[in-house]
Structure 1
Amino acid sequence: MAKAKEGYGRGASLEDELSCPICLCLYRDPVLLSCGHSFCKQCIQKALSAQQQPKATYSCPVCQLQLGPILDLQKNFQLCSIVEAFLATTSKEQQDEGSAEEKEVVPCDFCLDWSQRAVKTCLNCDASLCQAHLNKHNAKASQQDHVLVEVGAGGLVEERKCLEHGRLLECYCQDDGQYICMLCSIAGCHKGHNIISLKETHDRQLGELMDIVTWLQECKSTLATVLEELQETKNQLKTNTETVTSQLQMLFEEMKTEMTQKEKKILSDIESNEKEQLAYITKVKKKMEQRRHKAEQDLQSLQKMKEQTDIFLFLKEFKLAKDRIRSQNFCVEGTDMVVVQLDQARIDCCRRLMWDFMSQLGSLLEDVHSELTNQIKRNSGASDTGTSSNSVQGDREQALRS
């Protein structure tokens, strides 16, 4: 109690320190003057407005320090945070005090002069006991089996009593599966039934609980093992997939590289052959043009010689012309060109070879796919086995529940 008052005193003092000197309430949007005093922004604005006079300076309402004709109200962020923290703490303390007051205090039924606070309720005695009377109650041998519950259990106490006789439920009817009082087993509707005590029922249920705990522990261990195996299978599957993918990518890359190299080689050979034959054709063409030019010159000379009227000169010039023509080479050289051609038969042959290769490659890849499919089926079979095991466990669980 003293601590509470002490805390309250400190809270009140702190509240005074966090109050505006003008409105005497907790700071709201506090601002700081140059003299060091803080006020609510709205409060200081009103106070300074009342001071406003022509060519006059403002002064602090607390210390009367001259502040100047122009003021810059700076927000006091630190003081604002302190006020918010104080309000949050105060609100929490008030809530805690309200919760403590709302909690019901039950007095001891056996205290005479000054009732102490009860700590337990005895269902057999139908009384609430303080710690001292609870110790005396438990010391009696005849009351060792009494049922003690928390104070203020309310509806829990009513659930422990027979609705027909108002007595404490002390027995269990195995025929009807109900908790009953002693009168129900002697003269009530459960007379002649297979009746056992709550203690015996507790022992049996406790044994069944231990069986279920053992079974659940086995299930937990089995599931942990299965999860580890599944994780290993997942990791292995990922590794295998990466390996197969890498191998196939490398294989196809090698095939593409080989085909590209073949393509470049063949096209390069065709281009080289074209260049060589074009060079040869150019050389032969130049030679044929030179011979044609000489033949044209000799032809013009002979045509002009026909006009010679001097017989002697004609014979002399004609003889020289014949000798010159005989010494020249006007033969036509043949050009055996190697022209690359692909007839439809060769194209069809290449296509057959390509499809044969693709068919063999497809067969190899189909074998890989079949192997993967069989592995998935084997894994599915293992899962089905696990499902059967789970079914057996489900039957055991159903048996335990029954």
Structure 2
Amino acid sequence: MATALASETPEREVEDEATCPICLDYFSDPVTVDCGHSSCKTCVTTYCDNWEEGNHGPLCCPICREKIEKVNFRPNWDLAGLVEHVKQLGLKPGKEEKENLCERHKEKLSQFCEEDGEFICVECDKSPVHKTHTVILIKEKEELLEIKLNEERQSQKHQVETVRKKIMSEFEELEKILQEQKQPLLARLEELTKDIVKRENENVTKLLKEISFLSNLIKELKEKCRQPASEFLQVRQIIHPQFPARKHS
């Protein structure tokens, strides 16, 4: 019997070290608080949130009641490694043998006091200290947390949908305004295009007239070049009418 107990003790010790004192299951993402105790990050965070919501004063460790600070939570990598090792060995946490017990009554901590933000046993619940407090079963608390989480998810989903509808509505309104302004702008653009074409045509016509005038002038000059010198001097009157040709005696 002694030999059997001795062979089982190390295994139980390892299992105890790998078990969270709050959820009584293997540690998941274990963290260590100021006093040195460790627990699952989710477990201790939930405990702290409930404690703060109940306005119970300075935050205390759920195990030893020492003051702790949420900002001081430190990941316990060694403990996380131990848990993985225990899982690989195929060991399972014996919850019935390792239930967290009330230090005073040595009973299972199966309930949670909302006012004090702590886990208590059935004997604690009967005491005058918790007589007027709101006490719920841990299992019920987990269900309430799950319900609350689902409600928050639904609320967030509703908010996202509301924002999406608002954005779509604003875009539709903007598109409507742009469509209303589209036709007047297109009409104005067409008028400007016609005006530009008209001006270009006028400029082309003017340029053609000037080219025609210069062509005639060049033709006339060529014809003058073929005439006698006396008549050629009359070209000055054509080119520079301000300088009359001089008479020759």
User: What TM-score, normalized to structure 2?
Assistant: 0.40
- In our comparison, the structure showing a higher alpha carbon Rg is 1
If asked which structure has higher relative contact order (CA below 8 Å, sep 6+), I would say: 2
User: What TM-score, normalized to structure 1?
Assistant: 0.28
- Bigger share in helix: 1
